[in-house]
Amino acid sequence: MDKKEYDRLLFEYLDQYVTDNKKQVFDQVLNQRTRKLTLVLEDIFKPHNASAVMRTAECLGLQDVHVVEQNNSFDFNPYVLRGSGKWLTVHHHKDRKSHNIESCFRQLKEGGYQIIATSPKSSAVDYREVDLSKKTAVIFGAEETGISEYVTENADQLITIPMKGFTESFNISVSAAIVLEYFNHELRKSDGWQLSSEEKFSLLLEWYRKVVPKVHLHIKHFEKNLNLS
């Protein structure tokens, strides 16, 4: 039995343990999910900030978040995250002693993303001037130091949020909310922002695994009946 057939049968088995109300919510959320816009967090080290940005991404309907760890370990604040992290697909780039950001760039480029990074440099353009007809990944850097030199040199475009007061920048969670909401709104004006039927099915099965009580016991029983145990 191949994986596709296994997943189909497992879905049918778990479906009986998911309430109609939850199925309806899943359907509504899946129809608003997108992979045309993705978030990248590079070396964020304050759990409160990381969690706030991820919560914003989930609320806006983004599915993927890329977390790059190089100098700082990434952590979450459960109170701020409010369970939103369980619905996201988090890609961790942390296995190398160096160049984890390069691994992230390579994966994004292979996925067809243009890479945009927030920066205070004078060469950065207003975030509202970006061409958002393409799949887009947005990078936010560490709280104190910002994006790395590699990101500065290799991003397709640098963006900034114009300041009108004395303070030089917003907190990262506020910056992310401003940029992601605008990008998300603009990207959804063009075709191809929704998930494919295959992506929806894959996510739905993943979510079923998360909401069915004692799912590991159910899967064990399911596989035993299929003579896979």
Would you kindly state where each structural domain of the chain is located, as residue ranges? Answer: 1-33+197-229, 36-193
Q: Which has the closest alpha carbon to 35: 135, 157, 106?
A: 135
Range with lowest mean pLDDT among 91-100, 139-148, 175-184, 206-215: 91-100
* Separation CA 104–CA 109 (nearest Å): 9
Annotated binding residue 19: no
pLDDT of residue 229: 52
Is the model's pLDDT at 79 over the cut of 80?
A: no
Q: For residues 229 and 211, give the distance between their C-alpha atoms in angstroms, rounded to a whole number.
A: 23
Residue 45's pLDDT is 78
On whether the CB atoms of residues 141 and 147 are closer than 8 A, the answer is yes
Q: Give 146-193 pLDDT, tens digit per residue.
A: 899 999 999 999 999 999 998 888 889 999 999 999 999 999 998 899
Q: What is the pLDDT of residue 7?
A: 96
Give the model confidence (pLDDT) of 110-126 as tens digits: 999 999 999 988 889 99
Q: Which CATH number is 36-193 given? A: 3.40.1280.10
Q: Is 89 annotated in some ligand binding site?
A: no
User: What percentage of the chain carries pLDDT values higher than 90?
Assistant: 72
Query: How far apart, in Å, are the Cα atoms of 198 and each of 135, 166, 203?
Result: 19, 49, 9
